[in-house]
Structure 1
Amino acid sequence: MEFADFLSDLIFRSLPRSDQRRWARVYLQGLVITPGKKTIRNIASEYEGPVEQSLQQFISKSPWEWSAVRQDLARYVESRIPQRSQAWVVRPLVIEKAGSHSVGVARQFVTELGRVANCQQAVGIWLTSPEASFPVEWSLVLPRPWNTDPGLRRRARIPEAAGVHTPEQAALNAVRHMIEKWRLPPRPVVMSLQNANELETVAAFHALDIPFVFKVSGSLPITTGHESRGHLGQGRTRALDLINLCRAQRRPVEWDCPRREERRVTPLVAQEVLIQSGQPSSAQPSAVPQQAGGGEGGPMLLLGAWSGSGEQPDEFWLSNMSQTSPAHVFRLAKLAERVERDYDDILEPIGIRDFEGRSFRGWHHHTTLVSAAHAVIALGARQALAPVPPPTSAYLYTPDPRPRWVGSEGGHHRA
């Protein structure tokens, strides 16, 4: 497929004006081919004329709908990647900042860094198969000051509907949006819940009947009391203790490691368990356990894996896909390795963390176009990237209360 068709007919077809689609192509081309940091100034330096100002207007102020572009991107890559997407992998994104003006920036503890940092936090949803992965949806996690300070929200143009969520809540909302609004076929959600409110997140996904494979801590409280794979008796214990008790049942599972491009073998234990929702780890179990998700929620599958030669298991995974083979569930979990490789090789070099604007809208526009650029590279279309001349006149935006576009074709378009 020609690159121009790839962009105009598929990814950017929701942009109503030809000059909007042209500026989107200019920005995307800059993300792919501009050396160094992918700022608007560096991208614009490849052109003559008022390109920098026009790109600033297009990215930071224009009211084009980023969700529609992401939906078309998701549907396109869903149809192109080998074996279709096997999982939706949730990957955190941490963007450290020196100042305090960028939307969502605050001093906060970051699990991925293991320390307090002045940063933005976001989560990305990646359509993933063993051969490729593609970020298609993004949620910016807003710390509490950005919800309680009207001045901060007004300055960053944060919409009223955008509230404070944990990364796990943001991921759940994004997944629901992809299923309910984008009409994508649901895939198992792979996500790390370590140091998060594990029970609450498990219950929320399970209640919505969303398949998941969650990385959990060894201290996760679980309950046995049914015909499990190990035929254990009834009791309340920790994930670590149960897996250690069943270590004699370890079986080798082969899986492909994308980061090292090698075949690996991991000893694995699988047990069916029940999860009690709404109770912290130190709480005493109730007389009648409340299963995660409530109602008629069935048993879940707990996996313990030994990635090294130590006596203790290194990883714990919990899934509501209890009727699926443990080996397949574990291979789904390891698709997170595919995402890590593609993040390092593609997404980071093309500037996912390089946006210097301050607005909520601008951040989402930037991440949307970076996702499109990622797809161009991952699908092998980089070589088809021909130079894209910008529109012949500046791209201007008239602010509210009557937002409109003034482009190279003249006329106005109400957003």
Structure 2
Amino acid sequence: MTTIAVAQSWGDALDALVEGIAQRFRRVEARRRAGSYLRGLLAPLERKNGWHLAEAAGDRSPAAVHDFLTRMRWDADAVRDDLLAYVGDHLGDQGAVLVLDETGFLKKGCRSVGVKRQYSGTAGRIENCQVAVFLGYASRHGRVLVDRALYLPEDWTADEARRRAAGIPEDITFATKPKLGRAMLERAVAAGLPCAWVTADSVYGGDYLLRLWLERLPLGYVVAVTSKQRAPMGFDTVKDRTAARIQATDWMRLSAGDGAKGPRLYDWAHKAYPSMREGWSRGLLVRRSISQPDKLTYYLTFAPDGTPVAELVRIAGTRWTIESCFEAAKGEVGLDQYEVRTWTAWHRHVTLALFALAFLTVVRAAAIGGRGADRSAGRIPAAHRAGDPPPARRPRRSGTPRARRRYHVVVVAKTPSERARRSHWKRRAQTCDPQL
């Protein structure tokens, strides 16, 4: 297949994706905006903010982009449901791993929804930022982000004036990060997203209620905990349990996956303990640094009896895949380049950015011989709400190609600086309706 033909197939796949979520937008203008917004997020723009997305769409000002994110009627959660279905169709794997983690969005000022001086893993310190919890999906076909939840500190949920200014819905109350993570896991399971494991860092792994809920599902977990975490089947800590019960002969050298410098080798030891579920065991998995033997990391596990330690180690290592997803989402589809302050606009931009990242992952999988990028043509989008009737199935494409706009891969000229772009738009805005 020629390069032009491949590019055309990608354009057709993106058109099919936009058609698949079209029912989420009540008005034609909103549907068109959704398509142009996704194409802008996928385009090689200097930044993926309102000014640049408007320019890519051929607009005279960013007013229409702003309206799309703030005023037009559409439900970002419904589009999120379609994202779960899209990922299940194209990247679904029965052995996939769900990954919980958070990332920060550095901000100035105090008006952006949820912003506060708080710890940001992105900066590695306390900064003025927003923090959001994400659910990653790691399968043999690709790695993507499938859900998101903006974390609202308690002082935000208790401040009625700030809530109104940021457009926070009345039913949104304070929720801890583990609670937000559990809600996303519940949605993924309810959507039928194929998976076998869950992994997370100690913020989520240390939550007993979350682990207990997971043990009621046909899912295993390998979750990090702190050294003070209570050990399985006892009242001692995992640190004490390691010192008392793990012997020198229990350690084995295994790779937790490939890193930038090759296999991530550590020494590992695992002790299994009975659980209340027949055929499944709880356990304590310990990772020891080769160069610094006193540096230990602890994991609690829940897995089918007889699961090899190497498999548990692989799941533990899969947690790092979400970091590459954050990097790709911020670097390629503008996850953190929004210039919005309200609850609704934040969720709309982030949801479409996750969809753009999923599309890129599907295209890449197809390009290297994975799953085809055109499988979405007959997909039934996820229901808007549980009580809604299922949407009518769209007919698959006939053998006769339809007339449509084609999107080709082209060489993009060097973009001007941010200051030059803003000056250009300000000059153009002077000729626009001042109400825009």
TM above 0.5, one fold? yes
**Deviation >6 Å, runs of 4+:** 294-298, 381-385
The farther-off stretch of 81-90 and 116-125 is 81-90
Q: Deviation at 1:242?
A: 2.6
| Percent of aligned positions that are identical | 24
In 2, Cα distance between the equivalents of 1:85 and 1:78? 12
Shift of 1:322: 4.9
Contact 1:147 1:153 in 2 (8 A): yes
Does the alignment pair 1:213 with 2:234? Answer: no
Mapping for residues 153-164 of structure 1, pairs under 5 Å: 153-164=163-174
2:129 maps to a residue whose letter is C
Change (3 A) 1:6 1:156: same
Deviations 1:306-365 (A, max 9, x none): 243222353221122252333212212211222222322344342111111111110000
Contact kept? 1:122, 1:138, Cα under 8 Å = yes
Change (3 A) 1:179 1:74: same
| Alpha carbons 1:352, 1:367 under 8 Å: kept | yes
Q: Matches of residues 311-322 of structure 1 in structure 2 within 5 Å?
A: 311-322=293-304
Query: 1:411 maps to what in 2?
Result: none
Structure 1 unmatched ranges of 5 or more: 225-234, 275-290, 388-415
Q: Which residue of 1 aligns with 2:391?
A: none
Matched, 1:337 2:320: yes
Helix, strand or coil for the counterpart of 1:46?
helix
TM-score, reference length from structure 1: 0.76
Counterpart-to-counterpart distance in 2, 1:84 and 1:20: 35
Q: Deviations over 1:152-174 (max 9, x none)?
A: 11111111221111211110111
Aligned pairs for 1:125-136 within 5 A: 125-136=135-146
Amino acid paired to 2:288: W
1:99 is aligned to 2:99? no
How many residue pairs are counted as aligned between the two chains? 357
For residues 333 and 295 of structure 1, the distance between their equivalents in structure 2, rounded to whole angstroms, comes to: 22
The residue aligned with 2:286 is 304
Equivalent residue for 2:3? none
Q: What CA deviation, in whole Å up to 9, does each residue of 1:232-275 have, x standing for no partner?
A: xxx64321233344142112334432x4273444322111248x
SS at match of 2:363: coil
Mean alpha-carbon deviation: is it higher for 38-47 or for 110-119?
110-119
The one-character-per-residue Cα deviations of 1:116-163 (angstroms, maximum 9, x if unpaired) are 322111111111125521111100111112211111111111112211
Aligned partner letter, 1:242 = R
Cα distance in 2, alignment partners of residues 297 and 168 from structure 1: 27
User: Taking structure 1 as reference, are residues 110 and 347 closer, same or farther at Cα in structure 2, changes over 3 Å only?
Assistant: closer
Structure 2 CA distance for partners of 1:269 and 1:295, relative to 1, 3 Å:
closer
TM-superposed CA distance for 1:223, in Å, is 4.5
Q: Structure 2: give runs of 5+ residues left out of the alignment.
A: 1-8, 368-372, 374-405, 409-436
Worse-superposed segment, 71-80 or 92-101: 71-80
Q: Counterpart in 1 of 2:426?
A: none
Map of 1:87 onto structure 2: 97
Contact 2:98–2:135 under 8 Å retained in 1: yes
Indicate the residue corresponding to 2:407 in structure 1.
Answer: 386
3-state SS of 2:324 partner: helix
Tell me the equivalent position of 1:271: 271
Match of 1:33 among 30, 40, 43: 43
Residue 98 of structure 1 and its aligned partner are, at CA, apart by 0.9
Shift of residue 73, structure 1, vs aligned partner: 1.8
Report if aligned partners of 1:92, 1:121 keep a CA contact under 8 Å in 2.
yes
Partner of 2:238: 239
Secondary structure at 2:315's aligned position in 1? helix
1:142 is paired with a residue whose SS is coil
Deviation digits for residues 20-57 of structure 1, max 9, x if unmatched?
A: 22211211111122422211112112344445211111
Contact 2:95–2:195 at 8 Å: present in 1 too? no
For 1:328 and 1:221, the matched residues in 2 are separated by 24
